[in-house]
Amino acid sequence: MTLEQATIRIARPTDDLNALLPFYRDGLGFRILYEFHDHDNFDGMMLGHPGAPYHLEFTKAHGHRAGRAPTQDNLLVFYLPERNRCDAAHRRLRAAGFEPVPAFNAYWDARGATFEDPDGYRIVLQNDAWGA
């Protein structure tokens, strides 16, 4: 297998797994793919879409404080070229109680909207197609 065929897991710590669920599950429509409890002093969950080549892993280490995002420019960017799908994602996040925040880099405000999760990490819903 080569890297272009790989599945990517983006993993990061949190202080409160349950606080993230309204944002990622309810707002972004991710599903809980897997959970674990007290595995070598860690609790965690993987969120994503079944069959997608990526998922997010959030972990909580017992007795350890993870803190908030180090900057406002820690981003996950989702390119949503179809306007109706982008608008639907905005509505889901707002219905879950999350409003857009001004992007640290104004570039993302031109064709997208930035939302901040409870840990201060941000996602951008970019109404555009990815074109490398």
Q: Which positions ≥6 away from 9 have C-beta within 8 Å?
A: 46, 54, 55, 56, 57
* Confidence (pLDDT) at 130: 87
- Residue 4's pLDDT is 79
Same domain for 90 and 112, yes or no, is yes
Considering the domain boundaries, does residue 38 fall inside one?
A: yes
Mean pLDDT by 10 residues, the chain (132 residues): 84 97 96 96 96 95 96 95 94 97 96 96 95 68
Q: Say yes or no: 84 and 43 in one domain.
A: no
Range of the domain at 49: 3-61
Residue 52 shares a structural domain with residue 95: no
Q: What is the DSSP string of 36-82?
A: EEEETTEEEEEEE-TT-SEEEEEEEETT----S-S-TT-EEEEE--S
**Are 16 and 55 in the same domain?**
yes
Q: pTM higher than 0.75, yes or no?
A: yes
CATH number (domain holding residue 109) = 3.10.180.10
Q: Is residue 87 part of a domain?
A: yes
Question: What does the pLDDT read at residue 132?
Answer: 57
Q: Which residue in 126, 20, 89, 5 sits closest to 54, CA to CA?
A: 5
